[in-house]
Amino acid sequence: MAARGFAAEMEREKAKQRTRDALLARAKRGHVTGGVVYGYRNVPVFTGSDASGNPIRSHVRQTIADGEARVVRGIYQMFADGHGLKSIAKALNGDGKLQAESDRYFGGARVSPPRKGSGSWAPSCVHAMLKRERYRGKLTWGAFRNTDRGGRTKRRVKQPEDSWVTVEAPDLRIVSEELWHSVEARRQENAHRFTQPTDGTSSAPSSRVSQSLLSGLASCTACGGPIIISGSRKRAQCYGCGYYRNRRPTVCANQLLESIAAVDRRLIREIECTVLTPEARRFTLERAAEIVHDRLRSEPDRLTSLATELAQAKREVENLLRAIESGGAPETLLDRLREKTERVKSLTAEMRAIQSATRISPRNLRQIDRLLEESLKRTGDLLLGDVVRARQALTKLLAGRVQFTPTALADGRGTYRLEAELTLGKMLSPEASSKVHVPDGI
């Protein structure tokens, strides 16, 4: 009897595994495994027609719905800029008091609510959307599992993170990684604030606008998590690791808090001395010229070999996808798939860089120099201004996120060592330089 029960249990487990594998394979092909999701359209795909001429539906594929995708980006941007869930919901619902926000993020009109739901936008709906990994082009399975209790009752139980399966789905990406991380950092801050005892003196999280230069733009080197406004010391608000704050010390042991004002001042001074100088401009320009020169010299051969390698890598990705669809061992195959997809990405980037560099002439370089001069002056002014503008200026300078490493001072106190990769390339934004090609990599 016990043995039979065990066998039945095994069968159930195997059936569930098969379901998961099948879902995974379908998702990999871009087929829909769930219902309707805001931001996407479900498009049925047909494979021929049956005997009486009716089309046979093979599966449903998800594609980005442009209008809704714009709304999703607006929601993310509004939250990243410091607005709360309630304000966002109100702006979406066309609240007259938030007309300026509505203009800025949603084109000024009332936004029709998701098809499912209460007929208007709710803060909880906005909250759920801000956590949806699908918007950043990632699909995740296995976060929850239905468990059988005595073969009957079902309960959704959260699974440990290392057993989740994540698949890249770049076709579904609506929100950039940069924007996603800004939102993630603010969510960490709020998670902390909601757990604080309310003493009536702190402002409601929904009305607070981010008052630091770096929150959302920085990472903790101890764990890779976001640096957030995470507490205060001697009444000064401080930066700290968001994962230490909101997850648990086992995830990150970095508990250093350092005053926001001090850290921001240090960073701005450093940028002024190293980046906003004529030397830096000259260096950037020389580097641009160098890149152009190198690429022009090596270009014909390199382009051919890149194209060959890219085609090969794409074929391998296709083969892996087929193998995954037909069963096999998903975990190892997925690893290889990830690796190959990365390779395709880097090859494509290199090809694009060469192609962009070969379109640059000496006249372009002079134009780039003029643009740089203007932008640097503007950036310098902005950095010294209010926090919101300074953040925007800084975002243009940063090539990645600012890395915070806790270090000990001689007197035993701690301080953060800051490291950042800066670029002058982003200043020459597409609009500003429509007639100028700027090589990647400067």
Q: Which residues bind Zn ion (CB under 5 A)?
A: 220, 222-223, 225, 241, 243, 252, 254
Q: Return the number of the residue (38 or 239) whose C-beta is nearest Zn ion.
A: 239
- The nearest distance, CB 58 to Zn ion, in angstroms, is 46
Instruction: Please give, one letter per residue, the 3-state secondary structure of 284-325.
Output: HHHHHHHHHHHHHHHHHHHHHHHHHHHHHHHHHHHHHHHHHH
Q: Return the number of the residue (40 or 244) whose C-beta is nearest Zn ion.
A: 244
How far lies 264's CA from each of 223, 399, 403, in Å?
22, 18, 13
- The nearest distance, CB 158 to Zn ion, in angstroms, is 22
Task: Give the count of beta carbons closer than 10 Å to the beta carbon of residue 253.
Answer: 11
Q: Return the number of the residue (223 or 310) whose C-beta is nearest Zn ion.
A: 223
HSE-CB at 110 with a 13 A cutoff on CA atoms is: 10
For residues 370 and 373, what is the distance between their CA atoms, to the nearest angstrom?
A: 5
Q: Return the number of the residue (251 or 432) whose C-beta is nearest Zn ion.
A: 251
Q: Return the number of the residue (89 or 220) whose C-beta is nearest Zn ion.
A: 220
Q: Return the number of the residue (91 or 222) whose C-beta is nearest Zn ion.
A: 222
- The nearest distance, CB 220 to Zn ion, in angstroms, is 3
- The nearest distance, CB 228 to Zn ion, in angstroms, is 10
- The nearest distance, CB 242 to Zn ion, in angstroms, is 7
- The nearest distance, CB 229 to Zn ion, in angstroms, is 15
Closest CA to 74 of 31, 47, 51, 107: 107
User: Using an 8 Å Cβ cutoff, are 83 and 209 in contact?
Assistant: yes
Token representation of residue 153: 């009752």
For residues 421 and 146, what is the distance between their CA atoms, to the nearest angstrom?
A: 45
User: Using an 8 Å Cβ cutoff, are 170 and 138 in contact?
Assistant: no
